[in-house]
Amino acid sequence: MGNLIKVLTRDIDHNAAHFFLDFENAQPTESEKEIYNQVNVVLKDAEGILEDLQSYRGAGHEIREAIQHPADEKLQEKAWGAVVPLVGKLKKFYEFSQRLEAALRGLLGALTSTPYSPTQHLEREQALAKQFAEILHFTLRFDELKMTNPAIQNDFSYYRRTLSRMRINNVPAEGENEVNNELANRMSLFYAEATPMLKTLSDATTKFVSENKNLPIENTTDCLSTMASVCRVMLETPEYRSRFTNEETVSFCLRVMVGVIILYDHVHPVGAFAKTSKIDMKGCIKVLKDQPPNSVEGLLNALRYWPFLDK
């Protein structure tokens, strides 16, 4: 949080990316179509994942009853029967994070390749930039929902404890084939994160940089800082903002801006809050604070408490 205060007290004069990125209507050109279609297969499932997460109610009541009456076999069976399908949902969410990671890396490959600069890529390949933004928008929405639903970790912890007990007692466990021990370990690490999707994308971006040693790291960090600048400029420039036809586009831009700031901070050697950062953090925070407080508190908190920002 100290870094956030420092940023507010210093001036940064970076050349912002002054162009309109059409998040509402961008369509792929012929050269974008191959990557676009691959990513679109993943993104078409994103809304369904969010709906499933939003409606996730958990098996808290059944679990409590089973724990309070350990000798009652019917209550044990009822709790297990309630948890198994929920763990199936959690598995689906986790597997989607892996698909999203692959999609992000495909987009990064397209948007950071030579000979074009990041600004040229984002301006020329607006459909891919839009998909990149949609991944970030989904990610922050997913993590916001996950953070307010403690049932997820409670259900999964109960599932693992019960499964372990069944193995010790040689009791066949329905549902074990769906989530084996190795997968359960990976899922446990995923759901232990406060912001699991954001952590997945941050790690994927770092991995992309490390695996593409022939590509200067600046190609990736400049792509992220340019995207942050584009979002900020569109939000603070009446001429651009008036071109939004959907009122949801403002919140979309705000989420994307915060998402790329966090990715930048994770990948860049000195982070987003450093004096040499190419992101105008003061301007970005001002744009956030100019919105109705209730609509951006979660985004400001994401910047305050994102673990990699506290350097």
CA 158 to chain CA centroid, Å, is: 26
Give the alpha-carbon dihedral of 142, 148, 150, 153, to 10 degrees.
20
**C-alpha to C-alpha distance for 9 and 11, rounded to whole angstroms:** 7
Q: What is the pLDDT along the chain (311 residues), one digit of tens a residue?
A: 444 333 333 333 344 457 788 899 999 999 999 999 999 999 999 999 999 999 999 999 999 999 999 999 999 999 999 999 999 999 999 999 999 999 999 999 999 988 888 888 998 999 999 999 999 999 999 999 999 999 999 999 999 999 888 877 766 666 555 788 889 999 999 999 989 999 999 999 999 999 998 888 889 999 999 999 999 999 998 898 889 998 899 999 999 999 999 999 888 888 887 777 888 888 999 999 988 878 888 888 888 776 543 33
**C-alpha to C-alpha distance for 236 and 238, rounded to whole angstroms:** 6
| Full-model pTM | 0.87
Rg (CA), the chain: 22
